[in-house]
C-alpha cells in the first residue's frame, strides 16, 4: 500500500492528552467520505477524477460506471451498473488501495478547490420490440378436380470411393536364393553389462513362396560365427561363437494400398523365428596367490580356454513398407522394415572359474532398408537385392511364376 505522510509539529503533552488527540485524529481519518478523491490506476499510473464520494454519486473508471455507496462511516463501496457487483468497502483515506473491477486503484485526496467530475448514469436499455408477423393472405380455393402426379421414388446411389484399394493380382511364385553375406549386428551382454558389439556372420541359402498377398520363407545357414561376444572385461579376455549352423522361418501378409501407373505401394506384417547352434569359446585369466615355505606370497596368472555348446534363438515381429515400380519384363523395389518386437534367448553362460555369468543379446538396430531389381525371362525371374542397417545381406536368386 502507498501512503502520504504529512509532517506535523505537536507539543509534548501528557499521556492522557496524547491519547485523546490520537483518538480524535483516527476518527477524523475515517470521516472523510464525501470529499473529493481521484483514482490512480496502479498498472499504468493513469488518474481518473476527481469524484465526489457521496452516496448515490457516479464514478467512471476504465469506461465502467459505478454508483458510490457508504455502508459505514468513513468507508465507501462501488456498485457496478453493468453487472450489479459491489466492490469494497474500503476506507476513504488518502493512499488507500482497493480493487475495483479488474484493476487496483490508489485513492488520492484532491484539492479543496478542485471541480468534481459529474458522471451521468447510462440510460436504461430500451425494451426489445416484438416483431410483428407479416400479413399472409388466404390462399385461393382450389378447384374440386385436381390431378396429383404420382410420387416417384428416388434410389440413393452410394458414392464411389475416391481412391479404392488396388485389386490383388493372383500370382503364385517360388524363388530360390543365395546370400553369401548375411550378417546381423548384435549387442552382447555378460552379467547384464555390455561386453561387445559383434556381428553374427552367416552364409545362407533359402527359398521364398508368394501366393497372392501371402508370403513365406525358409532359410538354412551352413556356417555361422561371431568373434566379438566379449571384447574384454574382468577376467574374461574374449569369447566367440564358432562352428555354428542355423535355420530361420518367417511368414506374413503384404497388401497393396496405393497404385498409380507403374508404381505400387504395399504394407505388410510378418513374424520370424531364427535359431543357431554352435560352440562357445571363452578365454579368461585366473589369478591366485601362492605362498612358499619362507612366507613369500606370489600372485600367478593362469590363462584358460573353456568350450561349451550354445543355442541362440530369436523371435521377432516386422512391419514392412514397400514401394515398387514394374514394367512388363523388369522392375525395381525398395522396402523399409521396422522391428517393434525382438526377443533373444541363449541357452549357455560364461564360465569364469567357479562362477557362471549370464549371457544375453539384443539387436543393435530395429530397422532394415532393402533395395533390389528383377528381370523376367518368360515365366522365369532373376533378382538381386541388398539390405543394410540392422542386417547386412546380399541376395542373388531366381524363380518361376506358375
Report pLDDT digits (tens) over 264-280: 999 999 999 999 999 99
Q: Based on the fold, state whether residues 180 and 100 are members of the same structural domain.
A: no
Instruction: Order across the sheet with 47-52: list the strands.
Output: 47-52, 36-41, 103-109, 97-100
Strand partners of residue 181: 394
Statement: residue 289 has pLDDT above 90: no
Q: Based on the fold, state whether residues 217 and 305 are members of the same structural domain.
A: yes
Q: Based on the fold, state whether residues 218 and 298 are members of the same structural domain.
A: yes
Considering the domain boundaries, does residue 351 fall inside one?
Answer: yes
Q: Based on the fold, state whether residues 75 and 184 are members of the same structural domain.
A: no
Q: Based on the fold, state whether residues 176 and 303 are members of the same structural domain.
A: yes
* Mean pLDDT, residues 222-226: 94
Q: Would you state the cell numbers that stand for residue 358, as one nine-digit string?
A: 549370464
Q: Based on the fold, state whether residues 203 and 308 are members of the same structural domain.
A: yes
Q: Based on the fold, state whether residues 200 and 91 are members of the same structural domain.
A: no
**Contact assessment for residue 105 and residue 40, using Cβ atoms and an 8 Å cutoff:** yes
Considering the domain boundaries, does residue 161 fall inside one?
Answer: no
Containing structural domain, residue 105 = 15-109
Strand partners of residue 17: none
* Mean pLDDT, residues 232-261: 87
Tell me which of 238 and 332 has the higher pLDDT.
332
pTM for the structure as a whole: 0.56
What pLDDT score was predicted for residue 25?
39
Q: Based on the fold, state whether residues 183 and 72 are members of the same structural domain.
A: no
**Contact assessment for residue 239 and residue 229, using Cβ atoms and an 8 Å cutoff:** yes
Backbone angles phi, psi at 140, to 5 degrees: -70, 150
Statement: residue 177 has pLDDT above 80: yes
* Mean pLDDT, residues 235-248: 88
- How many folded domains does the chain comprise? 2
What pLDDT score was predicted for residue 128?
62
Condensed to tens digits (0 to 9), the pLDDT of residues 332-382 reads 999 999 999 999 999 988 877 677 888 889 998 999 999 999 999 999 999
Separation CA 217–CA 270 (nearest Å)? 10
What pLDDT score was predicted for residue 354?
72
Statement: residue 102 has pLDDT above 50: yes
Statement: residue 47 has pLDDT above 70: yes
Sign of CA dihedral 158, 164, 169, 175: negative
What pLDDT score was predicted for residue 190?
84
DSSP letter for each residue of 287-310? EEEEE-TT--EEEEEEEEEEEEEE
What pLDDT score was predicted for residue 22?
40
**Choice among 13-27, 161-175, 209-223, 370-384 with the minimum mean pLDDT:** 13-27
Q: Based on the fold, state whether residues 261 and 390 are members of the same structural domain.
A: yes
Alpha helices (runs of H) in 245-388, residue ranges in sequence order: none
Separation CA 136–CA 352 (nearest Å)? 105
Considering the domain boundaries, does residue 140 fall inside one?
Answer: no
Cα distances (angstroms) measured from residue 233 to each of 121, 193, 196, 225, 352: 90, 10, 10, 21, 11
**42 closest CA partner among 95, 93, 114:** 95
**233 closest CA partner among 196, 263, 267, 184:** 196
Considering the domain boundaries, does residue 162 fall inside one?
Answer: no
Q: Based on the fold, state whether residues 285 and 205 are members of the same structural domain.
A: yes
DSSP state of 364: S
Tell me which of 32 and 396 has the higher pLDDT.
396
Q: Sorting pLDDT into bands at 50, 70 and 90, what band is 28?
A: very low
**Contact assessment for residue 236 and residue 216, using Cβ atoms and an 8 Å cutoff:** no
Amino acid at each position: 500500500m502507498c501512503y502520504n505522510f504529512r509532517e506535523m509539529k505537536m507539543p509534548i503533552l501528557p499521556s492522557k492528552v496524547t491519547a485523546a488527540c490520537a483518538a480524535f485524529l483516527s476518527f477524523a481519518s475515517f470521516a472523510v467520505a464525501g470529499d473529493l478523491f481521484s483514482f490512480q490506476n496502479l498498472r499504468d499510473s493513469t488518474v481518473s477524477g476527481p469524484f465526489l464520494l457521496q452516496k448515490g454519486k457516479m464514478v467512471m473508471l476504465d469506461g465502467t460506471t459505478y454508483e458510490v455507496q457508504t455502508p459505514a462511516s468513513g468507508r465507501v463501496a462501488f456498485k457496478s451498473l453493468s453487472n450489479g457487483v459491489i466492490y469494497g468497502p474500503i476506507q476513504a483515506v488518502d493512499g488507500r488501495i482497493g480493487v475495483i473491477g479488474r484493476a487496483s486503484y490508489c485513492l488520492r485526496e484532491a484539492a479543496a478547490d478542485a471541480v468534481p467530475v459529474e458522471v451521468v448514469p447510462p440510460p436504461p436499455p430500451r425494451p426489445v420490440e416484438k416483431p410483428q408477423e407479416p400479413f399472409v393472405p388466404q390462399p385461393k380455393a382450389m378447384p374440386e378436380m385436381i390431378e396429383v402426379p404420382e410420387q416417384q421414388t428416388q434410389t440413393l446411389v452410394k458414392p464411389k470411393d475416391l481412391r479404392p484399394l488396388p485389386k490383388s493380382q493372383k500370382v503364385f511364385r517360388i524363388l530360390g536364393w543365395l546370400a553369401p553375406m548375411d550378417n546381423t549386428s548384435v549387442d552382447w551382454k555378460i552379467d547384464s553389462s555390455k561386453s561387445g558389439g559383434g556381428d553374427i556372420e552367416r552364409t545362407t541359402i533359402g527359398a521364398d513362396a508368394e501366393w497372392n498377398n501371402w508370403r513365406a520363407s525358409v532359410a538354412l545357414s551352413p556356417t555361422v560365427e561371431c568373434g566379438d561376444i566379449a571384447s574384454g572385461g574382468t577376467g574374461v579376455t574374449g569369447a566367440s561363437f564358432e562352428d555354428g549352423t542355423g535355420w530361420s522361418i518367417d511368414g506374413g501378409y503384404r497388401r497393396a494400398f496405393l497404385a498409380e501407373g507403374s508404381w505400387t505401394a504395399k504394407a505388410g506384417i510378418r513374424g520370424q523365428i531364427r535359431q543357431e547352434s554352435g560352440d562357445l569359446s571363452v578365454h579368461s585369466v585366473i589369478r591366485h596367490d601362492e605362498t612358499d615355505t619362507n612366507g613369500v606370497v606370489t600372485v600367478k596368472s593362469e590363462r584358460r580356454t573353456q568350450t561349451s555348446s550354445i543355442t541362440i534363438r530369436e523371435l521377432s515381429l516386422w512391419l514392412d513398407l514397400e514401394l515398387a515400380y514394374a514394367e512388363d519384363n523388369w522392375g525395381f523395389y525398395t522396402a523399409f522394415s521396422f522391428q517393434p518386437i525382438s526377443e533373444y534367448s541363449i541357452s549357455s553362460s560364461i564360465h569364469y572359474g567357479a562362477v557362471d555369468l549370464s549371457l544375453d543379446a539384443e539387436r543393435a538396430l530395429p530397422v532394415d532398408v532393402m533395395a533390389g531389381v528383377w528381370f523376367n525371362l518368360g515365366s522365369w525371374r532373376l533378382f538381386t537385392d541388398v539390405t543394410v542397417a540392422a542386417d547386412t545381406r546380399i541376395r542373388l536368386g531366381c524363380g518361376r511364376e506358375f
